[in-house]
Amino acid sequence: MPSLTPNQNFIDKLLRLKAATCLELDQDIAALLGLSSTAFKERKKRGAFPEKDLRAMVQKRPDLQLDVGYILNGTAQIQARLQCSQAQDDELLATCWPNELALVDRLMADAFDIPRDPRSDAYRDGARALLLFKLVDKPLHNPFELGTAYADAWWAGRNEGLSIIKLHLSLSCPA
């Protein structure tokens, strides 16, 4: 697995923090962390995520119930999810990451519940899988046999999922 660039690493952490706090704007995250918008923008340019400020804020705001480990590395509770069946997995996602799941549902609705050419369930599943991978680090797994039209549709949907999350980030994290 290739390592992330500092800026992409920052963006991934920022996206997890935004999802966990239901905040969409960088300036709101900066204020929550006790940083000025300018200081936050500079850190973002350098790819220097304000880990110290995050830890301090979590200590001051236990009511937010933020998982610092998950925000910083995206791996908290992943092993527990890997042991679950698909139904249990969906239930666990709804329990552990309701905000992220709501964001996935909103992004999917924005992308597919509009006038456009219809897409197969396999295609939509691929897009949703990519969004879950990016937001809660749910492992990507194409459930279809390789070389079939279903598998191809899933991969194509995964590619659209990447476009959806990039668009979301560009709109919520302007340069």
Question: Is 141 a residue whose pLDDT tops 50?
Answer: yes
Domain boundaries, the chain: 6-73, 78-172
The full 3-state SS of the chain, as one line of letters, equals CCCCCHHHHHHHHHHHHHHHHCCCCHHHHHHHHCCCHHHHHHHHHHCCCCHHHHHHHHHHCHHHCCCHHHHHHCCCCHHHHHCCCHHHHHHHHHHHCHHHHHHHHHHHHHHHCCCCCCCCHHHHHHHHHHHHHHHHCCCCCCCCCCCCHHHHHHHHHHHHHHHHHHHHHHHHCCC
Write down the pLDDT at residue 119: 94
133 compared with 97, residue with greater pLDDT: 133
Provide, rounded to the nearest whole percent, the portion of the chain with pLDDT above 90. Answer: 45
Question: Is 30 a residue whose pLDDT tops 50?
Answer: yes
pLDDT per position as a tens digit, 71-110: 888 765 443 343 344 556 677 777 778 888 889 999 999 9
Write down the pLDDT at residue 44: 92
Instruction: Give pTM, 2 decimals.
Output: 0.50
